Amino acid sequence: MKAQEQLRMLILAVLERQPEHGYAIAQAIKARSEGLLTAREGALYPALHALEAEGLIESAEYEVSGRIRREYRLTEQGGKALAKARGDWQKRVRAIGAVLGGEA
């Protein structure tokens, strides 16, 4: 799985819990992965725009403390895409575990 595809899956997973703005999405990815994964701005925002164009997420702007913030939320179609991505990921993990000799 390419890094771009992984980032898209991670974004959808973060948004499954609740709507978030871009910086919070990046922070959630970093925190949930205990710092092993990062979503850099140069990759995060293009991925968010692509996911929105595909109808997997939607966004709305809100004013917070005098600043405009764009918040992203998972759509029903995005939830289905996330479920498929999780299934595909689990198959890969099992396959790699089988090759490495681990118990997956």
Tokens read off for 42: 């140069």
Average pLDDT for residues 88-98, to the nearest whole number? 93
Looking at residue 102, what is its pLDDT? Answer: 56
Q: Answer with the residue of higher pLDDT: 81 or 64.
A: 81
* pLDDT score of 104 more than 80: no
pTM: 0.89
Strand (E) or helix (H) holding 57: strand 57-64
- Per residue in 70-89, pLDDT (tens digit) is 999 999 999 999 999 999 99
Report residue 103: phi and psi, to 5°: -100, 105
**Domains in the chain and their CATH numbers?**
3-100 (1.10.10.10)
In the chain, the amino acid numbered 22 is G
Looking at residue 99, what is its pLDDT? Answer: 94
Looking at residue 103, what is its pLDDT? Answer: 58
